[in-house]
Structure 1
Amino acid sequence: MSLRSWRSAMVLCVSTVCVLAMVACGGEDNSEPAKAARAFTAAMSSQNVDATADLTTSPSQAADSLSVSFAGMHARTVEASVLDTVEYSDGTASFSMRTTWKWSDDREFTTKTNGSLRRLSTGWKVQWEPGLLNTGMPIGGRLQMVRTDATPAPTVRSTSGKTFMQMQPVNEIIINPAATRNLQRSVNSLAAAIKPIAPLVTAQVINDKIVAAQGGEAVAVTLRDPDMKVLAFDPERIAGVTIVKTGMLVMKDRRLSTPLSTGLTNYWQAVRDATAGWQVQQAAAGARPEKLAGEQGRAGPDIMTTVNQSEQLTLGDAVVEVAQPATIMTLDADSGAILAMAQNSAAAQRRILADVAYPTGSTLDPVFGALDATSKTQEEADQRLHHLGLGLTFTVPGVAAPRDGGGSSVAAASFRPQDFTATMLNMGALGVSIARFSGGDVDSVAPHLIKGLETKVSGGDLGKLDADTTRRIAAAMSATARTGDAGDITGAPGLRALVGTNGPDGPGWFVGISGGKVLVVYCEGARSGTAALQVAQKYYRLD
């Protein structure tokens, strides 16, 4: 080929390329394909599935893929933008885009992908393909962001450092009403299968759980791995029943049970959440998820509590002394540390909590009597009441938060309100205040459960105990233990006690100080005062 012929061929090739591709240079590209691409990224940024899908050549396929990725990524914000656009003379165009997914704590994940556009009768549309979300994503694939937890999980420890609660593998036995033709038959069969290990989870209990789940899937029972070996037969043979393996914070000693576990689990979960890592994955059916970005979470610290495991076992044995709802708590008489808390099944069903206020009735008559005798003004009475731990709200880390307000404040001129209420924490703080008082200047203290974490006190202030008021209350408590309603209690040397009810139908209370510990018993139902005394007596016999 001559030099002239070669040059002519080169000019022809360059001219052809210029005709086929028109690239926007300098300033914003206002071509129709560029506008379509920017509309697509704007819809992506709004995380609007329908709007984004409608800008593609395959709205239904795009909507399916976008919806699972938006849901799987659950990003706080999505920032998508067009980097460049190239239009071709054959009615197509190409573009590149950058997409940044952002979450809290400055976590983000960015992709740079390429796509194409086609000119249709309805205008320019993005050619849909999963690779727009992540290069190489297969059909049916999706993006997802998952949390990653460090191992081992934090352990909840007792005051001695022994393991109190720990993460263990468990099995959730789930019944799905929609997956069985005869729901009652499945329920009855499931109750029979788990009866050897969970006899209290009857068919009626399972039905109640299904009702609570509004007819959806319900967890009938959660069992540890060893429990599965003693079932009557495999529950998964029952229509509508599946078993899901997961992890759960449980008592290491299976003999122990406490309502404190709810609050401790919530705090433990908060520690797990704060130390969790994250990972963005590309996932597809039948394939192992592929890690795209993220970082591993750091191990969380063990949670040190003031719980005494031996004391917890004793309380568990004492609280079953009566059939009516009964709850019992002990605190260290010097520091206010919560040592243990237990309740019987009747109280558990009633959801009796440590930080919910209940009527005190006549129980606090000695307290209000002392205020009558020593306080000159309402303000002075309120302050002294607060210094005793009453009329305050205690928010104790590791103890479930109250459903309503906390304690009451005195509102009657005689300092004896008829509707005064208190929580078990209030009553425990009162007992600790009296136990700490020895005649000199003594500050009251708030109950606490997790070592190193302070209890928040609201509604008033703790402070120095008034000597005259405190001495009168202590004397009245001693008289109650010697010759009053608690006079028959044995096994409690130096006992000082408060006993009372809120009328014939209760509730009934017992607050006792003996052996360096404060005991609080709360019972509901008829003759609840007598029931509280029975539980207290059982405790002192076992202690």
Structure 2
Amino acid sequence: MAWRGSSVAAATVAAALTLSLVTGCGSGDSTDAAGVVSDYAAAIADKNVQAASDLTTAPASAAETLGATFAGMAPDSVTTSVDDPVEYSDGTASFTIKTTWTWPDQGTFETSTSGTARELSSGWKVQWEPGLVYQNMPAGARLQKVRTDASPAPTVDSRTGKTFMKMEPVDEIVFDPAAAGRKSDAAINALARAIEPIAPLVTAAVIREKVDQADGRAVTAVVLREEDMGLVASDPAKIAGVTVNRTGKLVMDDRRLSSPLETGLTNYWAAVRDATAGWQVQLVTPGSRPQRLAGKQGPPAKDIATTVDQNQQLVLGDSVVDVAQPATMMTFDASTGGILGMARNDAAAKRDVQAGTSYATGSTLDPVFAAVDREAGGDDGKAGRLLFHYGLGAKFTAPGVSLPHSPGTPKVSSADFSPSDYTSSMLNMGALGVALARADAGRSDAVAPYIVKGAQTKVGGGELGEFSPDTARKILADMAKTAKSGDASDLTGAPGLRALVGTNGPQGPGWFVGIQGKKVLVIYCEGDKSGTAALQVAQKYFRVSAQ
């Protein structure tokens, strides 16, 4: 979309010598008016602020205004042309310069401004005035291009259509140790005391750790909703090195909830907003509100429908908190593979346990390996393909689910599928549980896990195919035995439970994969006695669910 500014015709004088030129290719002769104007326009087109400023009568002022405008506009390209240059006998000249700022796939912004040049003892110079950038622009002003978003912002909704996440005004409390200087330690202590009433877990030690990890750069100590700012003990902005940035953020509608799913859903939400974002060119003058000069705005984005169950998310959060070591739990819809929720305790958050990261399965999948190996007749290649049909060995890229920082690749290194050699992600384990639950309902095909309704999960490494109902029934029978008389037999309050339980040795990790009712449960724990910890999480889940 182009917007054209006003143009001012240059005055003409009968005795004037009229010159015509178009830039960016100047005359190369800066000893006359045409040359210096051409060179100035060419420098603007080259986005060379210093070169353009040096050609003016006030290089410092020009550099300040041009530098601020180029930084604010951030154009992909700039084109200029000089029209109607007129040189007068008194050593002055007038001209009109057209400037077009371009952003690919967005639009252009065009101005037409008038200016003068003067012949000084040092040669011809462009008479500097802010109006060269935008007609009648006052001193100290600048142009800037900003992103615009349609209102209202989309919400992220649960499976029932209830709001799960929404955009709210928040305050980012940022600490800059460089700005605090020698008072850095005292400032951190003061900041921790100020936010303690609303954020007691963000201690001085936590803030120092963030600063250390950022190599001394500014860090966000905490993000508070606007209503929470009234609960702080003192104004953080008055502390040395602390600034409070007011912005908007996607947050949980229910303040009791937290989930590692937030990151992936926020990224998806941001991508949706990016697709409908607009832009605006503004004239920014100190002491005044920005003036809109041009722009284009897309329509509001649709709300994002997900498979998340808010009640389930609350139960999951309660289920993982009692275990001291890293514990993470996910639940899936046993029919569709939709992710119902995911929670992890603080220890797992520090370990950055992710749904898509592969971890050693140990003995957990022994019943699966045994059944598949029998069906494959010892054929390693065939067995690997059969495992894939249950979702094992696949790499899932589900829109709305964060990808692991260092994704592992599930692997099998021997014909008998030695448990010590196999790794799997929580998404893989969930897909396995859903495939087996579907087999119990008369289906013989696996489905990929997903969280955003209508967004297809990419499956890497092959295609999910049909599996043998007989093999699935054998695995289900072994899972029922584990729940009735095996390692999961002490669990109560879970009628009809089928489970896979196992560890990768004394130091774990430990797993629990369960099918119960219309849900598939996947629990992953790390550390000593992690298998026992996984069972503890499962028991807490069944107890809280019953309540």
**Which TM-score band (shorter chain)?**
over 0.9
Query: Match for 1:340: what amino acid?
Result: G
Residue 23 of structure 1 is matched in structure 2 by: 18
Task: Work out whether residues 397 and 449 of structure 1, in 8 Å CA contact, stay in contact via their aligned partners in 2.
Answer: yes
Counterpart of 1:503, as a letter, is: G
Structure of greater Rg: 1
What's the counterpart of residue 9 of structure 2?
none
Q: How big is the shift at 1:25?
A: 6.2
Structure 1 equivalent of residue 294 of structure 2: 293
CA contact (8 A) 2:93 2:117 kept: yes
How many Å apart are 1:341 and its aligned residue?
0.6
What is the match of residue 487 of structure 2? 485
**Closer, same or farther: CA 380–27 of 1 in aligned 2, 3 Å:** closer
The one-letter amino acid of 2:226's match is D
Shift, 1:446, TM fit? 0.5
Which of 447, 452, 455 does residue 453 from structure 1 map onto? 455
Distance 1:179 1:283 in 2: 27
User: Do the aligned partners of 2:202 and 2:222 also contact (CA within 8 Å) in 1?
Assistant: yes
**1-structure distance, mates of 2:233, 2:14:** 79
In structure 2, the residue matched to 1:271 is 272
What is the match of residue 183 of structure 1? 184
Tell whether 2:65 aligns with 1:65. Answer: yes
Q: TM-score, normalised by structure 2?
A: 0.92
Alpha-carbon distance between aligned partners in 2 of 1:166 and 1:414, rounded to the nearest angstrom: 49
Secondary structure of 1:437 counterpart: helix
Distance 1:392 1:275, change over 3 A: same
1:375 aligned residue: 376
Alignment partner, residue 96 of structure 2: 96
Greater displacement, 70-79 / 431-440? 431-440
1:310 alignment counterpart: 311
Deviations 1:300-319 (A, max 9, x none): 11111111111111111111
Secondary structure at 2:456 match in 1: coil
Structure 2 residue ranges without an equivalent (≥5)? 1-11
1:520 aligns with 2:522: yes
Which residue number in structure 2 is paired with residue 474 of structure 1? 476
Can you list the C-alpha shifts for 1:265-318, whole angstroms capped at 9, x where unaligned? 111111122112211001121122111111234211111111111111111111
Q: CA deviation at 1:57?
A: 2.5
Distance, in Å, in 2 between the alignment partners of 1:71 and 1:201 is 35
1:366 aligns with 2:367: yes
8 Å contact 1:361–1:500 — kept in the other structure?
A: yes
Name the counterpart of 1:411. 413
Contact 2:22/2:81 (CA < 8 Å) preserved in 1?
no
Deviating runs (4+, > 6 A) in structure 1?
A: 25-29
Residue 501 of structure 1: aligned partner? 503
Task: From the superposition, tell whether residues 106 and 147 of structure 1 become closer, same or farther in structure 2 (CA, over 3 Å).
Answer: closer
CA distance 1:252–1:26, change in 2 (3 Å): closer
Q: Which residue identity does 1:188 align to in structure 2?
A: N
Deviation at 1:538, TM superposition (A): 0.8
The partner residue of 2:541 within 535, 539, 542 is: 539
The residue type paired with residue 279 of structure 2 is W
1:34–1:337 distance in 2 versus 1, CA, 3 Å: same
Provide the rounded CA distance (Å) in 2 between the counterparts of 1:172 and 1:355. 29
Which of 429, 432, 453 is equivalent to 1:430?
A: 432
What RMSD over aligned residues (CA atoms) do the two structures have, in Å?
2.1
Deviates more, 1:463-472 or 1:151-160: 463-472
Q: Look up the match of 1:53.
A: 53
Residue of structure 2 equivalent to 1:74 = 74
1:386 is matched with which residue? 388
Say whether residues 1:195 and 2:190 are aligned partners. no
Taking the TM superposition and a 5 Å limit, the aligned residue runs for 1:150-299 are 150-180=150-180, 181-299=182-300
What is the distance in 1 between the residues matched to 2:305 and 2:399? 12
State the Cα distance separating 1:444 from its structure 2 match.
0.6
3-state DSSP of counterpart to 1:222: strand
Q: Name the CA shift for 1:155/1:17 in 2 (closer, same or farther; >3 Å).
A: closer
**Partner Cα separation in structure 1 for residue 518 and residue 409 of structure 2:** 26
1:465 & 1:404 partners in 2: Cα distance?
Answer: 30
8 Å CA contact 1:371, 1:415 repeated in 2: no
The TM-score, its normalising length taken from structure 1, stands at: 0.92
Deviation, 1:27, is 10
Distance in 2, matches of 1:417 and 1:51, equals 67
For 2:7, the equivalent position in structure 1 comes to: none
Give 1:523 deviation, angstroms: 0.7
- Tell me whether 1:338 sits opposite 2:355 in the alignment: no
Contact 1:499 1:511 in 2 (8 A): yes
In the TM superposition, what are the counterparts of 1:105-184 in structure 2 within 5 Å? Answer: 105-180=105-180, 181-184=182-185
- 1:174 and 1:25, CA in 2 relative to 1: closer, same or farther beyond 3 A? closer
CA distance in 2, matches of 1:421, 1:370: 18
**27 and 63 in structure 1: CA distance in 2 versus 1, 3 angstrom threshold:** closer
Task: Please list every run of 5 or more consecutive structure 1 residues that lacks an aligned counterpart in the other structure.
Answer: 1-15
- Alpha carbons of structure 1 residues 441 and 164: separation in structure 2 relative to 1, 3 Å: closer
Alpha-carbon offset, residue 44 of structure 1: 1.1
Distance 1:439 1:331 in 2: 16
- Contact kept in structure 1, 2:412 and 2:421, CA below 8 Å: no
Contact 2:365–2:502 (CA under 8 A) maintained in structure 1: yes
Change in Cα spacing, 1:276 to 1:541, as seen in structure 2 (3 Å) is: same
Q: Evaluate the alpha carbon distance shift between residue 306 and residue 440 of structure 1 in structure 2; reply closer, same or farther with a 3 A threshold.
A: closer
Aligned to 1:12: none
Q: How many residues align?
A: 527
Answer whether contact 1:392 1:406 (CA < 8 A) is retained: no
Provide the secondary structure at the position in 1 that maps to 2:364: helix
Cα offset, 1:258, TM superposition: 0.6
For residue 518 of structure 1, report the CA deviation from its aligned partner.
0.3
1:368–1:81 Cα change, 3 Å: same
Q: CA deviation at 1:133?
A: 1.0
Q: CA deviation at 1:434?
A: 0.7
Q: In terms of mean alpha carbon deviation, does 63-72 or 330-339 score higher?
A: 63-72
How far 1:242 sits from its partner (Å)?
Answer: 3.1
Structure 1 position 219, deviation (Å): 1.8
Pair 124,497 (structure 1): closer, same or farther in 2 beyond 3 Å: same
Alignment CA distance shift 1:37-1:107 (3 Å): same
Amino acid at match of 1:23: T
| Matched residue, 1:5 | none
CA 1:439–1:192 in 2, change beyond 3 Å: closer, same or farther? closer
Opposite residue 426 of structure 2, the aligned amino acid is: M
CA contact (8 A) 2:365 2:419 kept: no
Judge conservation of contact 2:420–2:504 (CA < 8 Å) in 1: no
CA deviation map 1:172-209 (0-9, x unaligned):
22223244342211211221222122111110011112
**1:115 Cα deviation from its structure 2 partner:** 1.5
